Amino acid sequence: MTEIFFNGPAGRIEGRYHVSPKPDAPIALVLHPHPAYGGTMNNPVVKQITQVFQQHEFSVLRFNFRGVGRSIGEFDNGIGELSDAAAALDWLQQFNENAPQCWIAGFSFGAWISMQLLMRRPEISGFITISPPANMYDFAFLAPCPASGTIIHGTNDQVVGQEPIEKLVQKLATQKNIVVDYTKIKGANHFYDKHLDQLSDHVSNYLTEQMQVVEAAKSA
């Protein structure tokens, strides 16, 4: 991946960008977990999901929120981080004007930010949400959720319990024309230690299914 820097609301933002060899490839943005607890774009889950998008010939960007790594600024309790994510998506779209699809992915705190961005950007066509902290942050803004996607959670998650995740999934599942794929990875903790391969396999299979749906719609 190529090291890149782009302008964000608080100053320079550091990222890593992979350009797909496929002309007019779909694009994806991947968001990292909470900066105050060591979250960076080099988090193993973030890197793993980025690689899955690469394998599916997406052009994909991961980046450090303000105040992380070489990104300028200070942690802003989610408000500034949402602005950083919007700036990152703007940058990604600037270099991929003909992208047929736009996906957003986020892990933990990054999942909360990614779902807020989903609500604000109608061009986002799908989401990958990993261990959303529904016990810590309010997800009531997802009313209605504008796109389908997958939510993934480990059964041994020591940070986010199963009940708040299931309530979130049930809420989204009641909405018309929205399909939420909910997968529980048995034995996985919040960081997917020893379960990264299973996480990757699920995301890869989900993307394969969704790309097949898109291709089928084109030929119909």
Q: Model confidence at 220, in pLDDT bands (50, 70, 90)?
A: low
Residue pair 45/77 in contact (Cβ under 8 Å)? The answer is: no
Who has greater pLDDT, 212 or 16? 16
Residue pair 178/144 in contact (Cβ under 8 Å)? The answer is: yes
Q: Model confidence at 173, in pLDDT bands (50, 70, 90)?
A: confident
Mean pLDDT of 6-26: 96
Residue 96 pLDDT > 70, yes or no?
A: yes
Within its chain, how far is the Cα of 30 from the centroid? Answer: 4
Torsion of the alpha carbons at 197, 202, 204 and 208, rounded to the nearest 10: 160
Mean pLDDT of 139-156: 93
Considering its fold, how many domains does the chain have in total? 1
pLDDT of amino acid 134: 96
pLDDT of amino acid 137: 96
Residue pair 20/100 in contact (Cβ under 8 Å)? The answer is: no
CATH of residue 196's domain is: 3.40.50.1820
Measure the CA–CA gap between 160 and 152, rounded to whole angstroms. 12
By residue range, what is the domain housing residue 63? Answer: 2-219
pLDDT of amino acid 42: 98
Q: How far apart are the first and last CA of the chain?
A: 36
Helix ranges, 19-133 (H): 44-55, 79-94, 109-120
CA distance readout (Å), 24 to 101, 216, 217: 9, 18, 17
pLDDT of amino acid 144: 86
Residue pair 43/75 in contact (Cβ under 8 Å)? The answer is: no
Residue 213 pLDDT > 90, yes or no?
A: no
Measure the CA–CA gap between 133 and 109, rounded to whole angstroms. 7
Q: For residue range 34-87, what is the model confidence (pLDDT) as tens digits?
A: 999 999 999 999 999 999 999 999 999 999 999 999 999 999 999 999 999 999
Closest Cα to residue 165, out of 132, 198, 136?
Answer: 132
Range in 15-29, 113-127, 162-176 with the lowest mean pLDDT: 162-176
Q: What type of residue sits at position 39? A: G
